[in-house]
Each structure stands twice: as structure tokens, then as C-alpha cells.
Amino acid sequence: NAGVTQTPKFRVLKTGQSMTLLCAQDMNHEYMYWYRQDPGMGLRLIHYSVGEGTTAKGEVPDGYNVSRLKKQNFLLGLESAAPSQTSVYFCASSRDSNYGYTFGSGTRLTVV
């Protein structure tokens, strides 16, 4: 039982490049979330999904897109990376919004 798996764990991008972060969960959870965490900062919600085929904007959605084509996967895309997107990205999943989240171990992204 792997829980929530994020790939890659580390990545360095050049400004303007694109990439996709993958989050996979094996707990049959309906809800999935993408957060970013900057140094000394808390968790800021980027996008989330309440079920397969659904997505919704969070607190800081600009510059990111998401897709939830399969229940177990939630993809976060950066179309044109900017240095301001340098951060640690965490994915989380939950059986519903009123239950504890299981977080992945994070992806450390640096945009130069």
C-alpha cells in the first residue's frame, strides 16, 4: 500500500519550459488536492478535484492547469514555467473533504 506517490521528486526547469507533475493514489479516494509550499510559508491550495473528471480552482491557480482523467491520478501542469513557481509541491488525497488528508512526499521544483 503505497498511499500517495508523487513524481518526480526533484526537477530543475528553465523559464518558459513546461512540465507535468504526477500524483497517484491507491486508496480509492475521491478527493485530490495540489498545494504549494514556499520557504517559511504554509500550504497554499492550487487546484483540487472532487472526483474523476472534475477540477476546481484553489487559492493560487494562475499559471497551473490540472486534469483528473482517472480516479487514481491527478496531474498538475505548468505550461510556461516562471521563477515565481519555484516551490515544493504537495499532492494530497482524501475519501471526502471531511476526513484526513494523506499527503505525498513532495516535488521540489526550481525554475531558473
Partner 1 sequence: GENVEQHPSTLSVQEGDSAVIKCTYSDSASNYFPWYKQELGKGPQLIIDIRSNVGEKKDQRIAVTLNKTAKHFSLHITETQPEDSAVYFCAAGGYRDDKIIFGKGTRLHILP
**Can you give the binding site for partner 1, defined by CB under 8 A?**
4, 31, 33, 41-43, 45, 48, 50, 56, 58, 90, 92, 97-106
Please give the Cα distance from 50 to 71 (Å, whole number).
10
Burial class of residue 76 (count of CB atoms within 10 Å of its CB; 0-12, 13-18, 19+): buried
Q: How far is the CB of 99 from partner 1 (least distance, A)?
A: 8
Q: Which is nearer to partner 1, 80 or 97 (CB)?
A: 97
Nearer to partner 1, 17 or 50 (CB): 50
Question: In the bound complex, what is the minimum distance in angstroms from residue 112's beta carbon to partner 1?
Answer: 21
- CB nearer to partner 1: give 41 or 82: 41
